[in-house]
Structure 1
Amino acid sequence: MRISALAAILAVALASVPAAAQNAAPAAPAATPADEDFTPSHLKAASRVIAAVKGDINFDEILPGVAAQTRNIFTRTNPALTREIEDTTTEVAIEMVPRRVQLSKTLELIWARRFSEEELNALAVFFEGPLGKKYIETFPVVGMLSVGASNEWEQGIAADMVAETRKRLREQGHAL
Structure 2
Amino acid sequence: MPHFSSGRLGPRLLLAAALPFLAATLAAAPAALAQQAAPAAGKPTAAQLQLARDLVMVNGEARAFDGVIPNIVDGAALSFVQTNPDLARQLRDVAILVRPEFEKRQSEVIDILASAYASRFSEAELKEAIAFYRSSTGIKLVQDRPVIVQEAVQGIQAWGAQMNALAVERVRAEMKKRGADL
With structure 1 as the length reference, what TM-score do the two structures score? 0.58
Pick aligned residue for 1:84 from 79, 90, 95: 90
Equivalences, count: 136
| Higher normalized helix content (fraction of residues) | 1
- Residues 56 and 128 of structure 1: CA distance in aligned 2, closer, same or farther (over 3 Å): same
- AA at the equivalent of 1:105: D
- AA at the equivalent of 1:42: Q
Q: How does 1:1-176 map to 2 (within 5 A)?
A: 30-34=38-42, 37-142=43-148, 148=155
Provide the alpha-carbon RMSD of the alignment: 4.0
- AA at the equivalent of 2:144: T
Asked if structure 1 preserves the Cα contact closer than 8 Å seen for 2:38 and 2:121, the reply is: no
- AA at the equivalent of 1:117: E
- AA at the equivalent of 2:132: F
**Deviation at 1:71?**
2.7
- AA at the equivalent of 1:101: S
Higher Cα radius of gyration: 1
Identity score, percent: 25
**Deviation at 1:146?**
6.4
- AA at the equivalent of 1:73: S
Listed one character per residue, the Cα deviations across residues 32-78 of structure 1 (whole Å, up to 9, x for unaligned) are 544xx322221121112111111121212111112222232223322
**Deviation at 1:144?**
5.8
